[in-house]
Amino acid sequence: MNTIRLPKALGLERASGVYILILFIVVFGAMKPGLFLSASTVHSVASQQAIVALLAIAVLVPLATGVYDLSIGATVNLTAIVVCVQQQYHGWGMWSSIALAIACGVLVGVINGFIVVVLHVNSFIATLGTATVIAAVQSIVTGQSQPLPPTSPQWLDLTQMEVLGFQVVVVYLFVVALIAWRLLQHTPAGRYMYAVGGNAEAARLAGVRVGVWQWASLIWSGTICGIAGVLYASLVGPSLTFGGALLLPAFAAVFLGATQFTPGRFNIWGTVLAVYLLATGVKGLQLLTSVQWLNDMFNGVALLVAVAFAVWRQRRAARPTPLVVPVDNSPAAKAGSRPAPTPEREPTADNIAETAITT
């Protein structure tokens, strides 16, 4: 009897999240068809989670180089406040305010990189401290009061204009995701970043400038946070606390996404899939139970499961395989001669990066 085999890319090991997402849609759609499958629910989930997915991409790039950025939530809050305050209280134009907000995000990335690379402070501690300082700066900027959002039609259309029935913020997400995917998967810069994250010392010995790539990844993270802050301010309005609530969902999506498509490696499309997988599960359970704490519970469990799975895969890959020595019955072997040993490749930046990509 002939059996149908799925391509390896669509197997459960690489694309289980796709099948779980389909299962969620079928189950919750059958139980709450009038609510879960409504156009308003689909559009709201797609738009709201676009900001989360942007932050997850901001988290992913530094993680690819082996460093953490815990300042993403504070950076989003700061840039959202800056873009609104400059327009509402200082008379700046929309585009100049957006440029200043994104520049603030870039500046945060530069400062984080300096602390981590030059001062050699652990990235976890450094970015956590930076987040606390940013929170103080945002209180100074706002006077601890909620700033009013701009109300011009041009500002609202920045994210609320519709494309194929979805708000344009979803399009922005996929543009950023496509650029990040291209950078990480199809450029030397991406290979070096993965090489640094895979084995920083080996990459350094191969001539890769480890500090430069870690610094660049943190600047990239700050830039995306600046973009996300601007988009969130246009979509919902500025907030003093919103960014902190996105820290857990962003990290959960990145680690869960590392189990998809290219298991064991942080990747863009696995992360985007994980964001919408988690959001779909949370939305369905909330419609069934009306319990508000499910969001934190669901994301926390997903993060623990994803990390535990990654550790299990790493340990399984590290198990020694039994050594099988083939018996050579050729005349040369019987005569006692041995073939010349194959020379080992010298470590270079390219083959270190190649090893990091393929493992």
pLDDT band at 80 (very low <50, low <70, confident <90, very high): very high
If one compares 33 and 250, the residue with the highest pLDDT of the two is 250
What's the pTM value of the predicted model, to 2 decimals?
0.84
pLDDT band at 324 (very low <50, low <70, confident <90, very high): low
**Which of 327, 135, 314 is CA-nearest to residue 240?**
135
Number of other CB atoms surrounding residue 55 within 10 Å: 30
pLDDT band at 219 (very low <50, low <70, confident <90, very high): very high
Q: What is the DSSP string of 264-316?
A: TS--HHHHHHHHHHHHHHHHHHHHHH--TTHHHHHHHHHHHHHHHHHHHHHHH
Cα separations (Å) of 269 from 39, 60, 301?
24, 11, 21
pLDDT band at 237 (very low <50, low <70, confident <90, very high): confident
Sign of CA dihedral 155, 80, 181, 269: negative
Number of other CB atoms surrounding residue 148 within 10 Å: 13
Q: Round the average pLDDT of the chain to a whole number and report it.
A: 85
**pLDDT at residue 85 above 50?**
yes
Structure confidence by residue, pLDDT tens digits, 149-187: 888 889 988 988 988 878 899 999 999 999 999 999 999
pLDDT more than 70, % of the chain: 84
**Distance (Å, whole) CA 324 – CA 231:** 58
- 178 within 8 A of 185, measured Cβ to Cβ: no
DSSP label at residue 244: H
**pLDDT at residue 323 above 70?**
no
**pLDDT at residue 357 above 50?**
no
In this prediction, residue 328 carries a pLDDT of 55
**pLDDT at residue 321 above 70?**
no
Average pLDDT (199-206) is 93
- DSSP H stretches of helix in the chain: 12-31, 33-36, 39-64, 72-88, 94-113, 123-142, 153-160, 169-186, 188-198, 200-205, 210-235, 242-245, 247-257, 268-289, 294-318, 331-334, 349-358
Average pLDDT (112-123) is 96
Query: What six digits make up the tokens of 210?
Result: 């480890």
17-318 — its CATH code? 1.10.3470
In this prediction, residue 307 carries a pLDDT of 79
pLDDT more than 90, % of the chain: 50
Query: What six digits make up the tokens of 174?
Result: 């996929």
**pLDDT at residue 225 above 50?**
yes
pLDDT band at 339 (very low <50, low <70, confident <90, very high): low
Number of other CB atoms surrounding residue 33 within 10 Å: 10
In this prediction, residue 352 carries a pLDDT of 46
If one compares 111 and 339, the residue with the highest pLDDT of the two is 111
The mean-pLDDT minimum among 109-113, 224-228, 237-241, 277-281 falls in 237-241
Average pLDDT (127-139) is 93
In this prediction, residue 311 carries a pLDDT of 75
In this prediction, residue 337 carries a pLDDT of 53
DSSP label at residue 163: E
Domain borders along the chain are: 17-318
**Distance (Å, whole) CA 94 – CA 115:** 32
In this prediction, residue 359 carries a pLDDT of 46
With a CB cutoff of 8 Å and minimum separation 6, the contacts of 330 are none
DSSP label at residue 9: G
Structure confidence by residue, pLDDT tens digits, 61-75: 999 999 999 999 999
Structure confidence by residue, pLDDT tens digits, 8-40: 666 666 788 889 899 999 998 999 888 888 888
The mean-pLDDT minimum among 201-215, 298-312, 324-338 falls in 324-338
DSSP label at residue 99: H
In this prediction, residue 320 carries a pLDDT of 66
**Distance (Å, whole) CA 344 – CA 347:** 9
